[in-house]
Amino acid sequence: MPSSVALPTSISGGATLPTCTPDNVVLSSDTTTIHHATSSHILLSTALVKVVSEGKRFDARILLDNGSTANFITSSFCDRLRLPRRSASSTVTVKAVHIELVTDLTKEAYLAALNRFVARRGKPRSILSDNGTNFVGASNDLHNFLLESDLAYDVNQQGIEFTFSPPYTPHFNGIAEAAVRSTKHHLKRLLQLTHFTFEEMATCLTQIEAVLNSRPLTPISSDPLDFSALTPSHFLIGRPLMSVPHPQVTDTNVTRLERYQRVQHVKQHFWNRFYLEYVSLLQLKTKWTTSTGQPLAVGTLVLVKEKGQPPLLWPLGRITQVFPGSDGTTRVAELKTKRGTILRAFNNLCPLPLA
- In angstroms, the Cα distances linking 292 to 66, 85, 285, 289, 295 are 30, 41, 9, 9, 8
- In angstroms, the Cα distances linking 95 to 216, 333, 350 are 12, 30, 19
Residue whose C-alpha is closest to residue 248's, from 330, 175, 310: 310
* The amino acid at 204: C
* Region 19-34 average pLDDT: 37
* Number of CB atoms found within 10 A of residue 352's CB: 19
- State whether the Cα torsion 269-274-280-281 is positive or negative: positive
Q: Is 218-351 in CATH node 2.40.50.100?
A: no
- State whether the Cα torsion 71-75-77-83 is positive or negative: positive
Q: Who wins on pLDDT, 107 or 174?
A: 107
Residue whose C-alpha is closest to residue 5's, from 221, 19, 44, 95: 19
**3-state DSSP assignment of residue 113:** helix
Give the mean pLDDT of the chain: 74
- Residue 309, pLDDT > 50, answer yes
**CA dihedral of residues 349, 216, 98, 125 (deg, nearest 10):** -130
- Residue 27, pLDDT > 60, answer no
pTM of the model: 0.64
Q: What is the DSSP string of 290-335?
A: S--SPPP-TT-EEEE--SSPPTT---EEEEEEEEE-TTS-EEEEEE
pLDDT tier at 206 (50, 70, 90 boundaries)? Answer: very high
Q: Tell me what percent of the residues of the chain surpass a pLDDT of 70.
A: 74
Instruction: Determine the pLDDT at residue 203.
Output: 92
Q: Who wins on pLDDT, 284 or 227?
A: 227
* Region 106-112 average pLDDT: 91
Each residue's pLDDT tens digit, 310-353: 888 888 999 998 888 887 778 888 999 888 898 988 888 888 76
Each residue's pLDDT tens digit, 147-186: 776 655 554 456 788 888 887 777 777 777 777 787 887 7
Query: Looking at residue 16, what DSSP letter applies?
Result: B
Q: From edge to edge, which strands make up the β-sheet containing 45-53?
A: 25-33, 45-53, 56-64
Longest dimension (CA), the chain: 79
- Residue 199, pLDDT > 90, answer yes
Least confident of 64-68, 139-143, 188-192, 279-283: 64-68
Contacts of 198 (CB under 8 A, 6+ apart): 101, 103
Q: Who wins on pLDDT, 92 or 202?
A: 202
* Region 107-134 average pLDDT: 88
**Which string of b and e fits 199-221 if b means at least 16 CB within 10 Å?**
ebeebbbebbbbbbbbbbbebbb
Domain spans of the chain, in order of start: 1-90, 93-173, 218-351
